[in-house]
Amino acid sequence: MPALPEGSIATRYWHRLEDDRIQCDVCPRRCKLHEGQRGLCFVRGRENDQVLLYTWGRSSGFCIDPIEKKPLNHFLPGTPVLSFGTAGCNLACKFCQNWDMSKSREMDTLMDQARPEELADAAHRLGCRSVAYTYNDPVIFLEYAIDVARACHAKDIKSVAVSAGYVCPEPRRDFFAHMDAANIDLKAFTERFYKKICGGELAPVLDTLLYLHHETDVWLEITNLLIPDENDSDEELEAMCAWLAQHLGPDVPIHFSAFHPDWKMRDKPHTPAATLTRARNIALQAGLRYPYTGNVHDEKGGSTFCHQCGALLIERDWYQLGHWGLDSKGRCGQCATPLPGIFEATPGTWGPRRQPVRLHAF
Ligand code: SF4
């Protein structure tokens, strides 16, 4: 067997078809590959009669972010998270906000080499409480993400997946077994949107939400990016929030965030702040306890309130924390109702800043 190309590893989520093509079984796209072909994500491909991952140990860059930027509002608030991604993606969203990385087919985008142990050491030395697999979807580089998560757990650093949840059951189970928290991007609540705008399907994403909430201990939050006239109607938001309340219960936080024109969708306006507030009100009416408005200045929509007594528990202005109303056990300081999530006795003090990092330069 010839040596594998640098940065590549053999993978196991694939099988051979009767016509001798090999099908990748990582995501519902199920790319069917001839020798030498890459999948749609471009980071997996067939070589030497097997499917390789070409981006093990390579990253498109590192940043320290506030955990609220992932966004996670109920997971170690105020703490710094070392964020990184690779290249490629298994969806083709026309509005992609990270398209320079997710659509990259140039492996030189992946200039930073990072072995899992180096990454865990860096996170530890930089004071990060967690590492986030983000910017592009980590399910396409799950073998690398799992190795990083293992190295991080050995140093008591947690792992956060930022994903669209478009993944098949077996790799999903293996990947999320190593994650402590996830933000799943629920892009819309119609198959039409997923098919026409993202080149994917809604049903597998809903399966991932059900799986995470009911069959794992992964702390789950959801993001819903609202695009004017595409996925922001009252009817669609009411249907989505009713489904979430019925199937996931009232305690999974949801972040309604604002679209800005990008990539192949530049003909739509920015999402008005009023749309985010409308979505938050619909979620509250549906019985969801922790709906947030995201990436806007909106202290009411960005803050956490006790669902029992209404007390302000965590004040936020964008990524800046203010008043802290939880006791040392993560309960409401006024009525002692527990707040769902992962909290420490006191909040972190990282603040709203974002700090790029060269992994080998400190
Ligand atoms: S992970 Fe990549 S290669 Fe595999 S099915 Fe999905 S898009 Fe295709």
Full DSSP string of 28-42:
TT--EE-TT-B-TTS
Domain of 182, CATH number, reads 3.20.20.70
**Ligand 1 mean position to 52 CA, how many Å?**
11
The reply to whether 49 and 163 lie within a common domain is no
Nearest CA-CA partner of 148 in 175, 171, 169: 175
For residue 133, the SS3 value is strand
Asked if the structure places residue 3 within a domain, the reply is no
The reply to whether 142 and 252 lie within a common domain is yes
DSSP states along 1-34? -PPPPTT-EE--SEEE-TTS-EEE-SSTT--EE-
Say how far apart CA 315 and CA 305 lie, in whole Å: 8
The reply to whether 44 and 123 lie within a common domain is no
The reply to whether 113 and 153 lie within a common domain is yes
**Ligand 1 mean position to 260 CA, how many Å?**
27
The reply to whether 229 and 203 lie within a common domain is yes
pLDDT of amino acid 362: 43
Asked if the structure places residue 157 within a domain, the reply is yes
Nearest CA-CA partner of 337 in 311, 306, 358, 303: 306
The reply to whether 201 and 122 lie within a common domain is yes
* Domain residue limits at 107: 58-298+348-357
pLDDT of amino acid 264: 67
Asked if the structure places residue 2 within a domain, the reply is no
Asked if the structure places residue 111 within a domain, the reply is yes
Q: What is the mean pLDDT, run by run of 10 residues, along the chain of 362 residues? A: 81 97 98 97 95 91 94 98 91 78 55 87 96 94 97 98 98 98 98 95 98 98 96 98 98 95 75 96 98 92 98 95 97 98 96 86 48
**Residue 358's CB: how many other CB atoms inside 10 A?**
11
Say how far apart CA 329 and CA 343 lie, in whole Å: 8
Instruction: Give the residue, by CA position, lying nearest to ligand 1 atom 3.
Output: 39
For the record, the structure tokens of 145 come out as 């993400």
Structurally, the chain folds into a number of domains equal to 2
For residue 282, the SS3 value is helix
The reply to whether 36 and 72 lie within a common domain is no
Kindly report the backbone phi and psi dihedral angles of residue 160, in degrees, each rounded to the nearest multiple of 5, phi listed first.
Answer: -125, 125
**Ligand 1 mean position to 13 CA, how many Å?**
10
Q: Which atom of ligand 1 is nearest to the CA of 88?
A: 2
Residues touching ligand 1 (Cβ under 6 Å) are 24, 26-27, 29-31, 39-41, 44, 90, 140
Q: How is residue 135 annotated by DSSP?
A: S
Asked if the structure places residue 325 within a domain, the reply is no
Asked if the structure places residue 331 within a domain, the reply is no
Nearest CA-CA partner of 303 in 318, 288, 281: 318
Q: Which atom of ligand 1 is nearest to the CA of 39?
A: 3
The reply to whether 234 and 269 lie within a common domain is yes
Mutational test site, ligand 1, from 8, 11, 140, 208, max ligand atoms within 8 Å of CB? 140
pLDDT of amino acid 111: 62
Whether the CB-CB separation of 113 and 99 falls below 8 Å is answered with no
**Ligand 1 mean position to 41 CA, how many Å?**
6
Asked if the structure places residue 335 within a domain, the reply is no
The reply to whether 155 and 42 lie within a common domain is no
The reply to whether 194 and 273 lie within a common domain is yes
Whether the CB-CB separation of 297 and 316 falls below 8 Å is answered with no
Nearest CA-CA partner of 295 in 69, 64, 95: 69
Q: How is residue 107 annotated by DSSP?
A: G
Nearest CA-CA partner of 4 in 103, 101, 143, 123: 143
pTM: 0.95
The reply to whether 110 and 33 lie within a common domain is no
Whether the CB-CB separation of 81 and 179 falls below 8 Å is answered with no
Asked if the structure places residue 116 within a domain, the reply is yes
The reply to whether 15 and 152 lie within a common domain is no
Q: Which residues contact 169 (CB under 8 A, 6 or more apart)?
A: 207, 211
Q: How is residue 69 annotated by DSSP?
A: G
